[in-house]
Structure 1
Amino acid sequence: MTKFPQTKCQWLILWAIGLIGGTISVIIPLIFYLSYLGDDKVNVSVMNATLTEFNYTKNTLYYNLILNISISHTVYYDYIDASMMYQNISFDSQTVVMFNKSFSELHMNLRGQHVMAFITNQISKLNKQKMYGVYHIHLKLCPMFRFETNKLMPIIHCDLQVSLKSNKETTPIDGFHATKCDLRYDLSD
């Protein structure tokens, strides 16, 4: 059976221990957050994107997207999960291992096929983009920190407009313009 403090001195000691423990449990994560997770400390840009295939046939999307991504940061990441979306449907992901703390160039090739059923307005949007030869692709990067951040997860969003490069062309008509990505924080479960 647990004994409760009997004297005022015992209560005071118990209260001081609780106060110190509670203060430490709040201050240490706050210091970590302020030191490592500033918006100004992570800069992500897609420097180049080449789309050599983007074809939707019989409920299957065939794609080939080559990306060069520049990331400057002050935090150690063990790896970054990258996922590609088109019209709010995720259809490819890749994990990239990080090696350098201060600056990284990521080279990714997202290629394959994915079965996905578009509704009527999505098909008309796809056909319109196909007519212009420029596709709106969303790239989502989720860095995994060396240290646990518990509930607060940074998510990097890149909204890309990529021209389809045909085999006959050396470069797409408009080319690709470097795109700065947005850093947002998401509460994880």
Structure 2
Amino acid sequence: VKMSAVYPQPTPDLLWYDWAVIVAGLGMGVGSMFEIIRYSVDKKHEHRVYTWTNFWLLLSGVIHLWIEYNFVFARETSLIKPTLDMYAAADFRYGNYNGMLESGTHAMEVITALIDGPLCFLVVFAAAHNYSWRHPLQIILCVMQLYGLLWFTLQPIYSETGLEGHFSSDP
């Protein structure tokens, strides 16, 4: 473990194992959700399950429910803690401030983990079954994703410390 010149916490050395856990977790999460959705449709409509849009939504849902949930609710006990700490060393919004994220980031990630993640899965389920109510859900989800992207991108610019107070090129 080494110390970063700009990050107050020790920066962990990531091993192949840490990356393997992330990649395997994402793969198992997306694969499991594909199978759950596939079993819920009849044989003649299975082609609706395996689309690039559904893949993207399932990947996004797994990221929100697993990685971002861990950032907010289970950081200290998470299996992916070294990876979370490495990310926090590069983006200070995800740093550990007395057990919490930076307040604006914390608020955004709670919404993302608890609403966006499950909503991604619900939209995939509705698309696989060709339910018409998926369209308003897709609009809501897209607006939430765009809002999150804008917040994530612009929040450091308008904060008290500006961009240099949030990002590091050190680690």
Instruction: Tell me whether the two structures share a fold, i.e. TM-score over 0.5.
Output: no
Q: Which has the higher strand share?
A: 1
Question: TM-score, length-normalised on structure 1?
Answer: 0.23
Which structure features the higher share of helix residues? 2
Using the size of structure 2 for normalisation, the TM-score is 0.25
- Larger radius of gyration between Structure 1 and Structure 2: 1
